Structure 1
Amino acid sequence: MRIVILGPPASGKGTQAAILRERHSIPQISTGDMLRAATAAGTELGKQAATFMSTGKLVPDEVVVGLVRERLGGDDTKSGFILDGFPRTDAQADALGAMLAELESPLDCALQIDVDRDLLMERATLRRTDVRTGQIYHLKYNPPPPDAELEHRADDLEETVKIRLDQYDEMTAALLPYYKEKGLLRRVDGVGDPKEVTLRIVAVLEKEK
């Protein structure tokens, strides 16, 4: 299966993408991971990306699209893939569509994980990290042991989370209608235990076969 997985920060998108990767034995392609790997490897595209990432700027579409094109050409994507973090805009979605047309491997669906904004805020802002072990806890759903040395990451501070959610809403404002118009958008309720969410996703994907 060829899937684009979409969802706001703290929606559980990464968790579900990893589960689908294992379930279907197809690669989970994360643009964030690709950018970091290309930068570390010092590839031409990696060098271009590094100049923007080092100053906190968004990496231009042509660089990200180039990395995705290289990755989708790999042998391990022939039976399918899960794209996580790309596309983020309708322009990137157009570029992806053109790539897949060249590869004669059209997208099966764009899967959006829906979670209420208040719950997203609760999920993110109550996360804490043990600085000694790197283990991530949640003050409500997965409380830390008494001896944990906790840190509240900058990414999980309330104002930062609000900004990240606003950015996601702004970026995907055109993306969801784009995939809906093409008949590819599938929406899944992301509230509840991760196993419950997985079952909902599996039920949706079964209909695509």
Structure 2
Amino acid sequence: MRLILVGPPGAGKGTQAEILCARLGIPQISTGEMLRAAQAEGDLPEELARQMAEGGLLPDAMVLELIGTRLTAADCRAGFLLDGFPRTAAQATGLDDMLGKQGAALDSVIALEVPAEQLVERAVHRRTDKRTGKIYHLKSTPPPADAELEHRGDDHEDVVRQRIATYETMTAELLPFYDARGLLRRVDGVGSVEAVAERVRAALSPT
């Protein structure tokens, strides 16, 4: 299957992507990781590498070229799961065109949905044990008394709300784009990891 997975920060997208890819036997393709790898290997022009380091966005054509090359790899023959791209309707159109040239097409776009207030609550109470890297939640999965806890900067309420707002702005045109094509599958992201994974599975099952 050729899939796209989208969801707001804190929705559990990474966990669900890992489960889904293992079940389907397909690779998870993160454009962020691809760009960082290209930068580390010196494959990005100096100007673009500087632009990326400063938090700027790279041209859609360059990102599409990287994705197109990645999708020709042997591990993508059974499909793939795209994470982090597309973010706009223009990028989605470019992706459709690129896949068409490869004789392929998307099967589904999965959108994990979690209310904003629950996303904030998840992040604000999340703590990481600096010794082990294990993540705890002060209410639902409290840490042991001897844990050396760290509250990440991007888990503070003002940062989380800004990231949610950015996501909502992004998907305001992206989700309707795929909905109009009959590809969008909205999945309730509230509940246990297992419950959400089962909803994702059901959303992808033939009706």
Q: State TM-score, norm by structure 1.
A: 0.93
Task: Describe the SS at the equivalent of 1:174.
Answer: helix
Aligned residues of 1:48 and 1:63 also touching (Cα < 8 A): no
Report the alpha carbon displacement of residue 58 of structure 1 after superposing the two structures with TM.
Answer: 2.6
Give CA-to-partner distance per residue, 1:125-155, whole Å, 9 cap, x none: 2111122222222212222111111111111
* Aligned equivalent of 1:106: 105
Code of the residue aligned with 1:113 in structure 2: it is L
Aligned length: 207
CA distance change for structure 1 residues 58 and 44 in 2, over 3 Å: closer, same or farther? closer
CA distance change for structure 1 residues 113 and 142 in 2, over 3 Å: closer, same or farther? same
CA distance change for structure 1 residues 103 and 69 in 2, over 3 Å: closer, same or farther? same
- How many angstroms apart in 1 are the aligned matches of 2:58 and 2:20? 27
CA distance change for structure 1 residues 48 and 66 in 2, over 3 Å: closer, same or farther? farther
Code of the residue aligned with 2:182 in structure 1: it is G
Are 1:19 and 2:19 matched, yes or no? yes
Unmatched 5+ stretches in structure 2: none
- How many angstroms apart in 2 are the aligned matches of 1:49 and 1:64? 11
Aligned residues of 1:35 and 1:49 also touching (Cα < 8 A): no
- How many angstroms apart in 1 are the aligned matches of 2:94 and 2:155? 32
CA distance change for structure 1 residues 49 and 207 in 2, over 3 Å: closer, same or farther? farther
* Aligned equivalent of 2:163: 164
Task: Describe the SS at the equivalent of 1:11.
Answer: coil
Are 1:38 and 2:38 matched, yes or no? yes
What are the within-5 Å matches in structure 2 for residues 57-206 of structure 1?
57-206=56-205
Aligned residues of 2:3 and 2:109 also touching (Cα < 8 A): yes
Code of the residue aligned with 1:114 in structure 2: it is E
- How many angstroms apart in 2 are the aligned matches of 1:35 and 1:125? 29
Moved beyond 3 Å, runs of 4+: none
Code of the residue aligned with 2:85 in structure 1: it is F
Indicate the percent of aligned positions where both proteins have the same amino acid: 53
Aligned residues of 1:30 and 1:83 also touching (Cα < 8 A): yes
CA distance change for structure 1 residues 28 and 42 in 2, over 3 Å: closer, same or farther? same
- How many angstroms apart in 1 are the aligned matches of 2:14 and 2:28? 9
- How many angstroms apart in 2 are the aligned matches of 1:48 and 1:180? 37
Give CA-to-partner distance per residue, 1:190-209, whole Å, 9 cap, x none: 1100100111111111127x
Code of the residue aligned with 2:70 in structure 1: it is R
Aligned residues of 1:49 and 1:63 also touching (Cα < 8 A): no
Report the alpha carbon displacement of residue 61 of structure 1 after superposing the two structures with TM.
Answer: 2.1
Give CA-to-partner distance per residue, 1:64-105, whole Å, 9 cap, x none: 222212211212111100111111111110111011101111
Give CA-to-partner distance per residue, 1:150-189, whole Å, 9 cap, x none: 1111111111101100000011110000001111111111
Q: State TM-score, norm by structure 2.
A: 0.94
- How many angstroms apart in 1 are the aligned matches of 2:98 and 2:140? 41
**How much is the aligned-residue C-alpha RMSD, in angstroms?**
1.5
